[in-house]
Amino acid sequence: MTASAPQPAESAAFASALELIGAVEPRVAAAIRQELNDQRESLKLIASENYASPAVLAAMGNWLSDKYAEGTVGRRFYAGCQNVDIVESVAAEHARELFGADHAYVQPHSGIDANLVAFWAVLAQTVEAPALRDAQARHVNDLSDAAWETLRRELGDQRMLGMSLDAGGHLTHGFRPNISGKMFHQRSYGTNPTSGLIDYDEVRQIAAEFRPLILIAGYSAYPRRINFRLMREIADDVGATFMVDMAHFAGLVAGKVLTGDFDPVPHAHIVTTTTHKTLRGPRGGMVLCKEELSEHVNRGCPMVLGGPLPHVMAAKAVALAEARTPDFRRYAQAVVDNAAALAEGLLRRGVTLVTGGTDNHLVLVDVSAHGLTGRQAEAALLDAGIVTNRNAIPCDPNGAWYTSGIRLGTPALTTRGLGTAEMDAIAELIHTVLVNTQPAAGPDGNRSPAKYVLDAATCGKVAQEAANLVAGYPLYPAVDLG
């Protein structure tokens, strides 16, 4: 989506859509138009956001939205789903080929939904396994240790082991505020307090003690690669199902930047992802799995999902087709190169990074060295035209709300065409804001974790430089709304 001459078809399509919407509810049309303007002007460094192509966006706005299609391809609960079957089949085919998966399920509406489908599929496979039926048929005194473990799980003590939130894990990996934390008895593995890296020996030790049904790998704020071969070995040692949530880095897997031990698909029993982050598709989710889990995964609707969204599956099919091109592989590599350049630029300026750098698409900054909370840094950067999000860091003294970190990501700006030189310039802008922002007192006179002061001159200067930077890399240049 780098600069090019406007294409009449694309401009006409979106202009016509806004005209139709505006005729019914002009406030909605105005908000959509303003959103495009706002995104064009923002220096977006949110690691979980990207820009879908015009083709992906257009695929969502059509009459496929009008169809109910519960069930799976060829086995629907509604008649007249022949075109939905085509769309879903194409999306699943692209997903299988792109990731080398046995089976792909493209119906989940979000990453959380994809994880729920995966959890219930594993539980269903466990309960219905022949070993469990055999164990239940015996007298309890004759049960082996393995059979006792299976029976205990069936009686309600299902266990999940995943990465801790402050180490970079995700709420959907068994934490109490999420439904996964109510389904499973959960424990966490963290990172080495010195290096910030996963200690695989510690994971092995915790797994051996805890004996989880599901071992989850994956992250939302861990700036390094994971060795999925080692994690699978740990899962096998304790008889666990190995699940990977690759929502954040699916585009790096699709783009063949993460391969071998760092590609989760060959190693995991089941893999979940969103489709709108590094994969650069529509907002939605997806499940990839080994063949033995496919029957259970296909029960996602109506087990935990409502009616599939055929228009979004159409957009997933388009995005997955785009991800199979050489251009997408170049994009994925550029995302990682840009993240490394951003990290190096920050380090040269004395900014503290969790793990001291990055191997993927994100950078995690510890702002406590500047006397700031993550919330203060996030707000000050936003004032200066740089969009980030606050994020907890390992053993964060400020908790998950105020935090001590900010998370930066390069997928969106890479889509716009910015490169490593621009990443160094962005590092300078971020550093300028951090060193010129001071914590401030709240209404009670005590230091506030949310209040801050950034002088207007510095703020205005950085905001202008940020605007000048993105102006050279137009967003959706083929869409001219006049």
Q: Which residues are catalytic?
A: 68, 70, 245, 274, 277, 283
Our measurement of the distance from residue 36's CA atom to the centroid of its chain's CA atoms, rounded to an integer in Å, reads 22
Q: Measured between alpha carbons, how far is 364 from 195 in angstroms, rounded to an integer?
A: 13
Please count the CA atoms within 13 angstroms of the CA of 222 that sit on its side-chain side. Answer: 27
Residue type, 241: T
Q: Is the distance from CB of 331 to CB of 415 less than 8 angstroms?
A: yes
- Residue 361's nearest CA partner among 293, 441, 442, 280 is 280
HEC readout, the chain:
CCCCCCCHHHHHHHHHHHHHHHHHCHHHHHHHHHHHHHHHHCEECCCCCCCCCHHHHHHHCCHHHHCCCCEECCEECCCCCHHHHHHHHHHHHHHHHHHCCCEEECCCCCHHHHHHHHHHHHHHHHHHCHHHHHHHHCCHHHCCHHHHHHHHHHCCCCEEEEECCCCCCCCCCCCCCCHHHHHCEEEEECECCCCCCECHHHHHHHHHHHCCCEEEEECCCCCCCCCHHHHHHHHHHCCCEEEEECCCCHHHHHCCCCCHHHCCCCCCCEEEEECCCCCCCCCCEEEEECHHHHHHHCCHHHHCCCCCCHHHHHHHHHHHHHHCCHHHHHHHHHHHHHHHHHHHHHHHCCCEEHHHCCCCCEEEEEHHHHCCCHHHHHHHHHHCCEECEEECCCCCCCHHHHCCEEEEECHHHHHHCCCHHHHHHHHHHHHHHHHHEEEEECCCCCEEEEEEEECHHHHHHHHHHHHHHHHCCCCCCCCCCC
Q: Measured between alpha carbons, how far is 70 from 38 in angstroms, rounded to an integer?
A: 37
